A = this chain, B = another copy of it.
Amino acid sequence: MVGTARKLVTTTPVPSDIEIAQSVSIQPICDIADSAGILSEELELYGNTKAKVSLSVLERLSNAPDGKLCIVAGMNPTSLGEGKSTSTVGVSQALGAHLEKNVFTCIRQPSQGPTFGIKGGAAGGGWSQVLPMEDFNLHLTGDIHAISAATNLLAAAIETRMYHENTQTNEALFRRLCPPDPKDGSRKFCRGMFPRLEKLGINKNNPADLTEEEILRFVRLDIDPDSVQWNRVVDVNDRFLRCIDVGKARTEKGMVRETKFDISVASEIMAILALTTSLADLRSRLGRIVIGESKSADELITADDLGIGGALTVLMKDALKPNLLQTLEGTPTFVHAGPFANIASGNSSVVADQVALKLVGPDGFVVTEAGFGSEIGLEKFVHLKCRLGGLRPSVIVLVATVRALKMHGGGPPVIAGTALPDVYTSEHVELVSKGFENLRRHIEHANLYKVPVVVCCNRFRTDSGKELDTIVKMSKEAGAYDAVVSNHWEEGGKGAVAFGEAVIAATSEAKNEFQFLYEDAMPLREKIEVIATKVYGASGVEFSENATRRLEMYQARGFGKMPICIAKTQYSFSADANLKGAPTGFTLPVREVRLSAGAGFVLAICGTIQTMPGLPTRPAYYNIDVDLKTGRVIGLM
């Protein structure tokens, strides 16, 4: 892929992101694909600058050795973000366009919620971006829309099934589910009915052969409305959907139920997309989704019980293919699945990494981003993504900024949409070294996995040399294999050459004895305790009564081998956003536990964490418009 790499002519002062993105002449995506070794029959164009790539690459290259996997994680960020995506793109541009390496970038698709809410879009930034940034921030190829469609179809199916069961006799239900043929009265099962029959141990092909008892079990899922844990979704920051009553129309006969919408990317189907490994695996996971319990509480009801696993797969089959885009310097990029590491698995897809690792070859690099601070993004990368996808990291990068260190060192709050206090744009070495405690903890955490750790100081124009030197020096002392200052925002790949060289060295020279922090066999409760104490630095875990009960139930029902996905604030090692630095002595409050049987993990919700963001008083959409002369988007940042 070095063939299409292109040196940038960067300019300072750095123009706005969208100005830069629109100033570069974008290469046809088929050329990018060609240089990356993707065959034309493996490529599905979406316009000239986006494409989907078939998973058949994995079969074609099944015997080829994998490239090196570089995970870009971070420290606990300010609310402005510390440029992790920008650093991921920057080092990719350095490796591919300046250091003659095959490289692939794997990043997550952003949610439209923040794009129109607070962020105004982000595909990296400055001279390190993914193109076309407009599509990246908008519909892309529709994967998130597919997730919303599938999630909401399942929600409608649950609600309507409860309604039909409440308003019909067993006979009527059976007659409608398996209507007799008008000619000879014969009945048939639909394809979608066999998984439930199998689960019930009914090994019959002819509905007429069912006993009364079997008919009852077949037609009545008997879902307990209070147990339904499947929420509808929209990919919009719509806070008024956080708690709603549905079913208030006369036609629903008083079956009012309290429920909620989450933002689409928090859906279990997003987690499934991020963690699945093939179409067959996708089908199986979607069918296994547990939506609630039966009223007698002796059965977990799944999507396949509703006969809808196949339809969900049909809705998701195109979304399964990673989306190919390019960086400003013409290196290939997969954008696929997974934002919101605070409330979801928060990493781009397993399949994107797998395909990219095959394509770059043994000397090439796949640079993949893990969301937010390492305690959530990296921990989930390792325990969910590496475990379920069989991935082995070659190097872990921790992105740090002078700004975030100052905040952890006691600087005033950094609030998106308001002016940055002066302390963040003038030299304050003591705040940096005090705040280093946060980064130190992240370095120590990353080292637990026994993979070399490189710290990247993502340089801002107002950072002083002394401040940056402090981070580099302290990082090395704290156990990082290397630490470098990188200037990719201002200079593109050229500014990240030292960063790229550090990554290369770490993967070729340093020791790598990759390990997990817990094994499958450990009970669910202990897994949570391991994460809380070893990763977060908590002194213990406090489980709510409900959480305890559910953990015991999941353990008893055979889900004990699943890994844990923790939902908590991204602003602290703890579940309290205000505990900056490297807090100790706190207790992690596990408020709620949910089974994500399709995704393959148990979700533990810690502290108060919102699964539906809101819009600020002046949302980003105020700036966004189309230039009617050129047809181009304006106002994405």
Contacts and interface: CB of A to CB of B under 8 A. Distances in A.
Given A182-B420, A420-B182, A617-B176, A626 B317 contact: yes
Contacts of A474: none
A635 B315 CA distance: 13
Contact of A240 (B190, B236, B247): B247
A415 to B, nearest CB: 11
Contacts of A134: 314
Given A310-B624, A317-B626, A624-B314, A239 B190 contact: no
Interface stretch (A42-50, A208-216, A328-336): A42-50
B279 A235 contact: no
Contacts of A257: 240
Given A45-B46, A251-B242, A258-B248, A318 B139 contact: yes
Interface size class of A (residues with CB under 8 A): 35 or more
Interface in A90-110: none
A152 B631 contact: no
Nearest to A621: B311
A414 to B, nearest CB: 13
B181 A419 contact: yes
Given A160-B240, A246-B244, A417 B179 contact: yes
A164 interface: yes
Contacts of A45: 45-48
Interface stretch (A141-149, A385-393, A536-544): A141-149
A242 to B, nearest CB: 4
Contacts of A153: 112, 116, 236, 621
A428 to B, nearest CB: 18
A261 to B, nearest CB: 9
B279 A631 contact: yes
Interface in A266-293: 279-280, 283
B191 A635 contact: yes
Contacts of A224: none
**Interface core residue of A310, A417, A614 (most chain B CB under 10 Å):** A310
B279 A252 contact: no
A314 B232 contact: no
A304 to B, nearest CB: 11
A240 B163 contact: yes
A246 B240 CA distance: 5
Contacts of A310: 621, 624-626, 635
A521 interface: no
Contacts of A260: 249
Interface in A102-147: 112, 116, 134, 138-139, 141-142, 145-146
**Interface core residue of A179, A245, A616 (most chain B CB under 10 Å):** A245
A623 interface: yes
B191 A236 contact: no
Contacts of A619: 157, 160
A248 B243 contact: yes
A215 B525 CA distance: 56
Interface string A418-438: 111000000000000000000
A144 to B, nearest CB: 9
Q: Which 4 A-B pairs have the closest CB atoms?
A: A310-B625, A182-B419, A145-B145, A311-B621
24 contacts: A44-B48, A45-B45, A116-B311, A139-B145, A156-B615, A159-B239, A159-B240, A164-B617, A173-B617, A179-B618, A191-B635, A192-B625, A240-B247, A242-B251, A244-B245, A244-B248, A249-B260, A279-B628, A283-B628, A308-B622, A309-B625, A310-B621, A311-B625, A314-B633
Given A191-B625, A245-B245, 17 more contacts: A44-B48, A46-B47, A145-B145, A145-B148, A156-B238, A157-B619, A157-B621, A160-B619, A179-B417, A179-B618, A241-B246, A249-B260, A280-B628, A283-B625, A311-B621, A311-B625, A314-B624
